[in-house]
Structure 1
Amino acid sequence: MPVVVLAYHVDYWDYMGWKDPYGSSQWTVRQKAYVEAFNLDTMFTPQIVVQGRAHCQGNDQDALLSHINAASRFPAPSFQATFQRPTSECMQVTFTGTLRSKVDSQGVNVMVALYENGLVTDCPKGENKGRVLSNDFVVRKLEKLCNVKDISAKKNVSGTVSFPLWDTFHSSKCGVAVFVQNTSHQIFGLQNFQIPEYI
């Protein structure tokens, strides 16, 4: 089973004297939703969440592999992606295809994450003082492509998302992941795309 890793950098450690340049309150809110879903007492890092259904300490390799092996198998969506760069500050991606899974009346959101690899950051303060931190699969932007309900697995779905880009954006370091999630942030299939060199 292919595994797509997405790293959401939280911002609740900023008080320790070093602000993670990729941290976001949006990702803190997302983790809080998992804390509630798993009936946890508190948030912690590093935490790994597998399909929104299981979690473990990020440095517990045995638990992580166990969760991945036990994870439900969902068909990957069959989207075709068209990338455009209408301006230097923006990238648009249009998706067309099927979810390959039936969606009931509860509905799901189709989400698109823009992530970046090869990030290196000096850490002058805080718990990691003096270290150089290397990070991959860092989610830089997350947008909702669409919400769907009451559709068959073969029904065509389409939509476009726009991502504002940052000064150091380079397509060779970035990728796009499309995933289907319900209101509890459980994941029901995903698809990964490399960004074309011309973008």
Structure 2
Amino acid sequence: MDLFRGLRLAFAAAAFFGLASAAKGEEQARPRGVVELFTSQGCNSCPKADAYLGELARSGDVVALAYHVDYWDYLGWRDTMATADNTGRQSEYARALGERSVYTPQAVVNGRVHMNGASRGKVEKALGSLKDAGKGLTVDLSLSEGVESVIIEAGAAPGTARKANLLLVFFDPVTPVEIKRGENAGKTVTYWNAVSGIQSVGMWSGQEIRVEIPASELKKRGAAGCAVLLQSLDEDGNPGAIIGAAILDTPQG
């Protein structure tokens, strides 16, 4: 266990300082896009996608989030990071995208399209083609940590104003897990940006806004990092297009 703890601290520090270097200067460039991976420790086709998501997370120009789902737990290994809310978010995406079923590893890019999360070419193509088509991240969004609060600032809409939901997504930046049973028994897999909770913190209506969240909220959640997504909702409240995103890592001490 001491080895895993050391690995986790080392990876978290590397991720933090890498992102901090990229963020130097008065303004931080918009990410290329958002990749949300639905994965499971009990899925034998997921480690390849998990490794790729780790690369995206370390790149610093993609908001990469891993949602561990619980519907593969019956195969013999209970995913240590799965939550019912993560499974619920994937089901909501399925309804929004007109799909009848869910699967792992599934990557959803910018809330608009989905594909196998291990298909690097398809994910990269989606990031590029969505941006070229004006369906990338079009609204400036920043997430910063003050003395007593976490500050979210969203810019104005570049075109016609539309409403979107501001979501705080809490995650653990890096976690090595030794899997002892199930389809991945005997493997130690390092998971990046595993989501532990999502919280709506307000609505955006196309105008500049600034929202402050008590820093104690992160401590209460026990999260080492968080991201903010500016995401539209469909008529049924299902997640839609993501038009802004930013990420903040807080290294564990």
Closer/same/farther in 2, CA of residues 56 and 96 from structure 1, 3 Å limit: closer
TM-score by length of 1: 0.80
- Contact 1:111-1:146 within 8 A present in 2 as well: yes
Check if 1:157 corresponds to 2:221: no
State the distance in 2 between where 1:32 and 1:103 align.
Answer: 31
Aligned partner of residue 63 in structure 2, secondary structure: coil
Could you say if the C-alpha distance between residues 103 and 140 of structure 1 is closer, same or farther in structure 2, counting changes exceeding 3 Å? Answer: farther
Q: Percent identity?
A: 24
Task: Name 1:76's counterpart in structure 2.
Answer: 140
Q: Give me the whole-angstrom Cα distance separating, in 2, the residues matched to 1:196 and 1:117.
A: 8
Q: Post-superposition shift, 1:148?
A: 3.0
Quick one: distance in 2 between partners of 1:94 and 1:127? Answer: 40
CA distance in 1, matches of 2:122, 2:142: 30
- 2:61 is the alignment partner of 1:39: no
Higher strand share: 1
Give the 3 Å change call, closer, same or farther, for CA 83–110 of structure 1 in structure 2: farther
TM-score by length of 2: 0.64
Query: 1:25 matched to which residue of 2?
Result: 84
2:124 to 59, 62, 65: 65
Structure whose residues are more often helix by fraction:
2
Aligned letter for 1:15? Y
Query: How many residues are treated as equivalent by the alignment?
Result: 181
Letter in 1 for 2:189: L
Any stretches of 5+ residues in structure 2 without a counterpart?
Answer: 1-31, 33-60
Post-superposition Cα deviations, 1:88-124, rounded to whole Å, max 9, x if no partner, equal xxxxx43253333269786221011122122111111
Deviation per CA, 1:127-181: give whole Å up to 9, x if none. Answer: 11221121011112221121233x42xx333131523244xx6xxxx33211101
Tell me how large the CA RMSD over aligned residues is. Answer: 2.4
1:132 equivalenced with 2:185 (yes/no): no
CA contact (8 A) 1:175 1:193 kept: yes
The residue that corresponds to 2:248 in the other structure is 193
Q: What is the alpha-carbon distance in structure 2 between the residues aligned to residue 67 and residue 101 of structure 1?
A: 23
Structure 1, gaps ≥5 residues long: 85-92
Relative to structure 1, is the Cα distance of residues 103 and 119 closer, same or farther in structure 2, using a 3 angstrom cutoff? Answer: farther
Q: How does 1:40-55 map to 2 (within 5 A)?
A: 40-55=99-114
CA distance in 1, matches of 2:147, 2:110: 27
Report if aligned partners of 1:112, 1:177 keep a CA contact under 8 Å in 2.
Answer: yes
2: CA distance, partners of 1:9 / 1:15: 14
Kindly state the Cα deviation for residue 9 of structure 1 after the two structures are TM-superposed: 0.5
